[in-house]
Structures are given as structure tokens and as C-alpha cells.
Structure 1
């Protein structure tokens, strides 16, 4: 009597169950990585918005009065809200500006925060 070689039905089912668990874990990891990449992209663009605001004030030679300014801008097809808080400093020639950027319509969760200084232009 010859014995046939091969896998039993139980062995095949166990192998398929292990494969299903491994593949589902792999798909979950890919999904999380994709979500992280999108979050990172939004934070990077929010950083650019904050840096643009500060660079614009400096380039225009603006010396803002203490207070709060808000607005929005569209970058990379997304609308971002910015909020600037201008504060006086002990030196009257400088102003501190704190800029927070968030996605429009998603509350006050700041994706980016930037602090800088504005200098009173010489006249």
C-alpha cells in the first residue's frame, strides 16, 4: 500500500488562517502609514503658511500694533486658518508675533505654531 503525500485539509485551513491574519495586519499597517503621511503633509503645509505670514510682515516692513489678527489662506487645495497674536516686548523697537495655523472647519487644533519678532523700520 502506498501512502499519498500532500497536505491534509486541516493543515491547509490552518495555513490559510495564518495567512489571513498576516495579510490583515499588513493592510492595517499600510493604512496607518498612509494616514500618517497625510497628517505630515498637512503639518508641513501649515508650517509654510505660518512662515509665509511672518516673512510677509518682514518683507513689507510692517510693525504691527499689539492685538490679534485672523484670516485664512488656501494652500495645496486646502483652506487653512491662521491666527496671529502680536505682543509688545520690553524693547519698544521689537514686537513678538505668535502665529497658529489650523485647518479651516476643524476647530482650534493648531497644526503649526511659530513665534518670531518684528523690528520697527528705521525712518
Structure 2
């Protein structure tokens, strides 16, 4: 008799065991898809922030290369990179030392709140060097 019962056990998995295994695999695959979707979304956000940082850096580099003495105030201009629509806002303020001006560039996407990037530099008045 022991042989008959062991032969019955060797036939394979029961339907319940197969359904439990399929349920576990389905849950694991759903979690994997959610993780991949989250990574894709954060990669897109990171790419946008990278392009915004380049735009801010370009605006500050242009200011240094022009050797211009910026006027105190704020101005906004288009600074799109690739297929990403970006708006740069340049805010120039005076410093306690009249030879320097603080320039802050913030980059944002039109229609969205918050900044993607922000960079600050200090610009010296080129005419003060000859004095």
C-alpha cells in the first residue's frame, strides 16, 4: 500500500498549488512594472533638470563672455534646450560692494510651478579694474 499512495503523490501539482504559484508570479510582475514605470518617470525628470541646468549655465556664461555690466532688475527670456520648453529669469541685485553685482538665474517650465534649476554668480564691473 505505501507504493500506491506515493505513486499518487508523484503525479504533479494540484490545481490550488498552480493557482497560488501564478498569483505570486503575477504580484511580482506587477511590482516590477511599477518599479520600471517609476524609474522611467524619474529619468525624465532628471533629464529635464539636466537641460535646465545647462540653460542656466549658458545664461551666466553669456553674461561673463559679454563683459557687460548688468542693470539691476529682473528679466525673463526663452532658454529652451532640445525639445524642452524652458524660461530663464535673470535677477540682478546690487551688493554691499558697488563694484560687484549678484546675478541669479532660475529656470522653469512654462505652465508648471517650481524651478528646475537655479544658479548664482557675482559679476565685477570691468571699468573698475582700470581705476
Does TM, normalized by the shorter one, top 0.5?
A: yes
Listed as ranges, the matches of 1:33-44 within 5 Å are 33-44=39-50
Match of 1:117 among 118, 122, 128: 122
In the TM superposition, what whole-angstrom CA distance separates every residue of 1:60-86 from its partner, at most 9, and x where no partner exists? Answer: 011111100111122111110111110
Residue ranges of structure 2 left out of the alignment (5+ in a row): none
Structure 1 Cα separation of the partners of residues 21 and 35 of structure 2? 21
Deviations 1:82-111 (A, max 9, x none): 11110001111110011110112223x100
The structure whose Rg is larger is 2
2:79 pairs with one of 45, 69, 73: 73
| TM value normalised by structure 1 | 0.94
Structural RMSD (CA): 1.2
- What TM-score comes out, normalization by structure 2 length? 0.88
- After TM superposition, the structure 1 = structure 2 runs for residues 1-123 of structure 1, keeping only pairs within 5 Å, are 1=4, 2-3=7-8, 4-107=10-113, 109-122=114-127
Contact 2:93 2:102 in 1 (8 A): yes
Q: Which runs of 4+ in 1 moved over 6 A?
A: none
Tell me the alpha carbon deviations over residues 16-66 of structure 1, each in whole angstroms, 9 at most, x when there is no partner.
000000000000000001111111010011000001000001100111111
Q: Which has the higher strand share?
A: 1
Determine which structure has the larger helix proportion and give its number: 2
Q: How many residues align?
A: 122
Q: Structure 1: give runs of 5+ residues left out of the alignment.
A: none
